[in-house]
Structure formats: C-alpha cells, structure tokens
A = this chain, B = another copy of it.
Amino acid sequence: MPRDLDRPAPPRATRQRAAIAAALGDAGGFLSAQALHERLRAAGDRVGLTTVYRTLQALADAGEVDVLRTADGEALYRQCASAVHHHHLVCRRCGRAVEVEGPDIEAWATATARRYRFTDVNHVAEIFGTCAACRAA
C-alpha cells in the first residue's frame, strides 16, 4: 500500500544534509551556495558542491530557508527563524541579516495592486546597508 501521497516524503537523514543545515544555521546571514560549500570544506566536511545546490534548493522549496538574489544574479540563502512572511535588513559586506516585518509594506502592496486591478499579488522588499560591525572594521 502506497504511502500518503498528499504529504511529500520526508528528506532522508544524511551526514551531508546535517552538515549543510548546521553550517547554514550558524552562518547567521545570507550566503551563496558556493560560499557555503567552501565553509563546509574548511570545516572538514566533505560534501559535493552539487549536493549543496540540491539541498539548498530543497530547503528553499520546503520554505525552510529564504532566498534572495544579488545584483548580479547570484542566489543567496539564509535559514530564517520564522516561516511566516517577512523581509530583511541585510549587510552588504558580511551578509548578516535581521528579519524585519513591514505592516506598511503589506498594506501598500495590496492597495497599489487593487488600484491598478492586479490580482494574485505578492511582493519583495529588502533593505541593504552596512552593519555597525562592518562599518567599524
């Protein structure tokens, strides 16, 4: 008898997946797949770059990590505390990010969309700057 098809199969517990999740966890900010891969190697965790990409993609699809794109199109990943909709204040130097919410933004997006008769609305909003630590350095 087939397993319940409504619910996606849970990911398998592998050494690699654990390492990736952990590394992403204490990174505390946004980093690229390649950067994460380097951290893992540096820490002695032997993981293939392919696996890093595949795992991050999976985590993103599962909504367990947030994704954003650099100005030059590179994908950055971050393990977020809240699964609910939120925005970020990101340091463009170190990648560290603060999760922030913007009630105003939500309202603005909704109102603007309605005014122009757009439906199925969603939006993106991120703030970039230099954090105190990086400014000091």
Q: Which residues of A are interface residues toward B (Cβ below 8 A)? A: 69, 71, 73-75, 89, 91-92, 98, 100, 102, 104-105, 107-109, 112-113, 116-132, 135
Q: How many copies does the complex hold?
A: 2
Q: Which residues of B contact A112 (CB under 8 A)?
A: 89, 100, 102, 127
Q: Say whether A121 contacts B113, CB under 8 Å.
A: no
Instruction: Point out the residues of chain B lying under 8 angstroms from A92, CB to CB.
Output: 120
Q: How far is the CB of A40 from chain B (nearest CB, A)?
A: 23
| Minimal beta-carbon separation of A133 from chain B (angstroms) | 9
Contacts of A124 in B (CB 8 A): 124-126, 128
- Are B132 and A118 closer than 8 Å at their CB atoms? yes
